[in-house]
């Protein structure tokens, strides 16, 4: 029997509703499975926490996350940068991995797409190095380093190696960003030599944005820098259906944090209509990471059942309103647990 210590960050907007679903799922597995157990610590961060404690990332939250083996993070509102960027930086979560795929009966402009965006998570314009050179001019600095480029490229090629598509598309803007993106490409090319079985292609980010709409099936693993990856992965999520389906992993060498791609979605908060699939699939990504890190086949098997359960629900047209169904957040979560239960627990 293995007990995993998970910090569950309750954020803002639809965050509390989604984290309730996540807690329900983990508790259900804990109760049903003989081999997989969880110790869940609920922590607060974001706008609500800032109002309550005067700090978007209270020290108690930070300490609890540090004690856990992985963090499940629900979306936070305006203070996102004070939470997400700090956690990514502190734990050196350098790989942001965002899968997007088509599901049966989910309305979308594409078919048979199954791709993953691997985004460098620690550098680029996200360092926030901005200053006024005079009252009317702002200078923003962009950092790209060989080390960070190398480790994200290695991560992307390993992911591509585990997928059917066996292809990496490096997305950049080296015709304008001649030094920084040139370094990113050259380093990735060097890494690609160690993976001769993986097809490797380059694409400008503007062309990629267009191709994602015109011919999304051509992509398997997209490797890119921080800002381009942020934008491209939202586009990929929408191309395959809804942002309410898109999970993300922030992975470092010793710690990882899993979250929905979307934000706090204040327009639908408190209405019990948010799609919890993004969070369910974020839990699935966490199981993949824990399974690999701790060589735990039981949790890897559970991860496969998560994916199968979502596939089956959509095939049977069991859906929330955002993708053409009629179920509420909590109803969909319950249907998910029922179908997961049918598959049994080890």
Q: Using the rule CB under 6 A, is 136 a contact of ligand ATP?
A: no
**Torsion angle defined by CA atoms of residues 251, 76, 171 and 120, in that order, rounded to the nearest 10 degrees:** -30
* Candidate list 188, 240, 250, 278; residue touching ligand ATP; CB under 6 A: 278
In the complex, minimum distance from the CB of residue 262 to ligand ATP, in angstroms, rounded to a whole number: 4
CA proximity to 254, closest of 64, 92, 36 = 92
Angle, helices 15-32 vs 277-293, to 10°: value is: 50
Cα of 330 vs its chain's centroid, Å: 22
Q: Is 234 exposed, middle or buried (0-12, 13-18, 19+ CB in 10 A)?
A: middle
In the complex, minimum distance from the CB of residue 274 to ligand ATP, in angstroms, rounded to a whole number: 4
CA distance 109 to 169: 21
In the complex, minimum distance from the CB of residue 261 to ligand ATP, in angstroms, rounded to a whole number: 7
In the complex, minimum distance from the CB of residue 260 to ligand ATP, in angstroms, rounded to a whole number: 6
Q: Which x/- pattern, by CB under 6 A, does the window 69-108 give for ligand ATP?
A: -----------x----------------------------
Q: Using the rule CB under 6 A, is 263 a contact of ligand ATP?
A: yes
Find the binding residues for ligand ATP in span 184-243 (CB under 6 A).
Answer: 243
Contact between 248 and 95 under an 8 Å Cβ cutoff? The reply is no
* Candidate list 251, 264, 281, 285; residue touching ligand ATP; CB under 6 A: 264
Q: Which is nearer to ligand ATP, 113 or 268 (CB)?
A: 268
324: left (phi over 0), alpha (psi -120 to 50) or beta: left
Q: Using the rule CB under 6 A, is 262 a contact of ligand ATP?
A: yes
CA proximity to 217, closest of 242, 240, 249, 198 = 240
* Candidate list 220, 322, 337, 339; residue touching ligand ATP; CB under 6 A: 322
Angle, helices 329-342 vs 277-293, to 10°: value is: 40
In the complex, minimum distance from the CB of residue 233 to ligand ATP, in angstroms, rounded to a whole number: 11
In the complex, minimum distance from the CB of residue 254 to ligand ATP, in angstroms, rounded to a whole number: 27
Q: Using the rule CB under 6 A, is 268 a contact of ligand ATP?
A: yes
The residue length of the chain stands at 346
Instruction: Provide the binding-site residues for ligand ATP, judged by CB under 6 A.
Output: 14, 80, 243-244, 262-268, 274-275, 278, 322
């Amino acid at each position: 029997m293995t007990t995993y210590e998970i910090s569950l960050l309750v954020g803002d907007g639809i965050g509390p509703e989604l984290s309730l679903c996540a807690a329900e799922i983990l508790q259900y597995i804990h109760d049903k499975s003989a081999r997989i157990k969880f110790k869940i610590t609920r922590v607060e961060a974001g706008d609500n926490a800032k109002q309550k404690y005067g700090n978007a990332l209270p020290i108690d939250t930070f300490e609890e996350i540090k004690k856990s083996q992985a963090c499940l993070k629900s979306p936070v509102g305006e203070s996102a940068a004070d939470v997400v960027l700090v956690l990514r930086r502190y734990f050196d979560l350098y790989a942001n991995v965002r899968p997007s795929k088509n599901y049966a009966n989910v309305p979308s402009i594409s078919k048979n797409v199954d791709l993953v965006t691997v985004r460098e998570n620690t550098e680029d314009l996200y360092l926030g190095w901005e200053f006024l050179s005079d009252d009317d001019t702002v200078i923003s600095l962009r950092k790209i380093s060989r080390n960070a480029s190398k480790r994200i490229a290695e991560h992307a090629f390993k992911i591509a190696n585990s997928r059917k598509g066996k292809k990496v598309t490096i997305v950049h803007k080296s015709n304008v960003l001649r030094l920084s993106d040139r370094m990113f490409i050259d380093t990735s090319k060097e890494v690609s030599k160690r993976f001769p079985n993986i097809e490797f292609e380059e694409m400008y980010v503007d062309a990629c944005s267009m191709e994602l709409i015109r011919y999304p099936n051509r992509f398997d693993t997209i490797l890119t820098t921080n800002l381009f990856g942020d934008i491209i992965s939202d586009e990929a999520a929408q191309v395959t259906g809804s942002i309410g389906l898109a999970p993300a992993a922030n992975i470092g060498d010793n710690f990882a944090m899993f979250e929905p791609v979307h934000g706090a979605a204040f327009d639908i908060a408190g209405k019990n209509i948010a799609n919890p699939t993004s969070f369910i699939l974020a839990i699935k990504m966490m199981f993949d990471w824990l399974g690999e890190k701790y060589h735990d086949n039981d949790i890897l098997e559970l991860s496969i059942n998560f994916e199968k359960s979502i596939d089956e629900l959509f095939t049977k047209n069991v859906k929330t309103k955002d993708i053409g169904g009629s179920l509420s957040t909590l109803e969909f979560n319950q249907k998910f647990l029922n179908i997961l239960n049918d598959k049994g627990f080890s």
